[in-house]
Amino acid sequence: MHSRLSWICPILLALAACGKGHDLPQQPQLITDADSLDFGQSLGYATYVGTAPQESLQIHNGGLSDLLITSATLSGDPEFTMTGPLSMDVTGQQNTFIRIIFAPSSAKIFNSTLTIVSNAQNAPTKTVAISGKGVNP
């Protein structure tokens, strides 16, 4: 039994050390689940005029300190509106969401940009391209 323990202990110590060096950053990190939203355009889809589908953008704080979102604004075509972020103060390793609503007024392509300003070390200003194609029913 002693010989079995002699080779198990070094393996366990080596496995325990594997997680070292992958510590999370102390400073807040703004990470989104998408760099663009296109309401299905990339898949060949379009949105009927008179409808208003929505997409969500997840914002993740990849750091340990609080991520403070000071503003989230849309610029571009008014066919896009937003609600959120659900929280302007995102604690470490937590998420919040912004909902984008697309209500095309005519049959054409619409564009907008979402700009998120925060105290994130990696992206104090993050932009997300937004587009959608309206079609007549």
pLDDT digits (tens, 9 = 90+) for 40-89: 999 999 999 999 999 999 999 999 999 999 999 999 999 999 998 988 99
On whether the CB atoms of residues 77 and 110 are closer than 8 A, the answer is yes
- Model confidence pLDDT, tens digit, residues 5-18: 454 444 444 444 44
pLDDT band at 29, cuts 50/70/90?
Answer: very high
What is the helix (H) or strand (E) element at residue 7, kind and residue range? helix 2-17
Q: Strands of the chain (E only): list them.
A: 30-32, 36-37, 47-48, 54-61, 67-76, 80-83, 89-90, 95-102, 109-118, 125-135
Phi, then psi, of 5 in degrees rounded to 5: -65, -30
Whole-prediction pTM: 0.81
On whether the CB atoms of residues 68 and 89 are closer than 8 A, the answer is yes
pLDDT band at 23, cuts 50/70/90?
Answer: confident
pLDDT for residue 130 = 98
- What's the topology of domain 25-135? Immunoglobulin-like (2.60.40)
The pLDDT of 21-26, averaged and rounded, is 77
Q: In the chain, where are the structural domains located?
A: 25-135
